[in-house]
Amino acid sequence: MRVSLQYAETHLADLLDVVDAGETVEIARLDKPSVVLQVHPEDSMTEAKAWKSGERSRGELFGALKDQIVLGDEWDSPQTNAEIAALFEQSTLFPERSAE
């Protein structure tokens, strides 16, 4: 299938569905083939296909790193909070507040 660049810009999602179905799509610029869309050889779209088919929900993405990120006991201590506040107050990104 060959489509114009303008068509591809407005119908990219539909073209990706065509590619997922196994067809190759050529995008032409000035009536000359410029880009070819095709399924990746390693089929990296497996996850997207599973979401689209309803086998997985996007909600499963949340919590994906559960038990892999560990916060120390001091993560919310007064000392840690003071250090974070000092980093903001001393940052060159934030101008000093004018005295009122």
pLDDT at 61: 58
Measure the CA–CA gap between 80 and 83, rounded to whole angstroms.
5
**pLDDT value at residue 88:** 81
Predicted confidence at residue 10, as pLDDT, reads 92
> In 5-100, which ranges are E strands?
25-29, 32-37
Counted residue by residue, the chain has a size of: 100
First to last CA, the chain: 67
Give me the architecture of the 2-57 domain, per CATH.
3-Layer(aba) Sandwich (3.40)
Question: Model-level pTM?
Answer: 0.41
Phi, psi (rounded to 5 degrees) for 6:
-60, -45
Per run of 10 residues, the mean pLDDT along the chain (length 100 residues) is 90 88 86 82 58 57 71 86 86 58
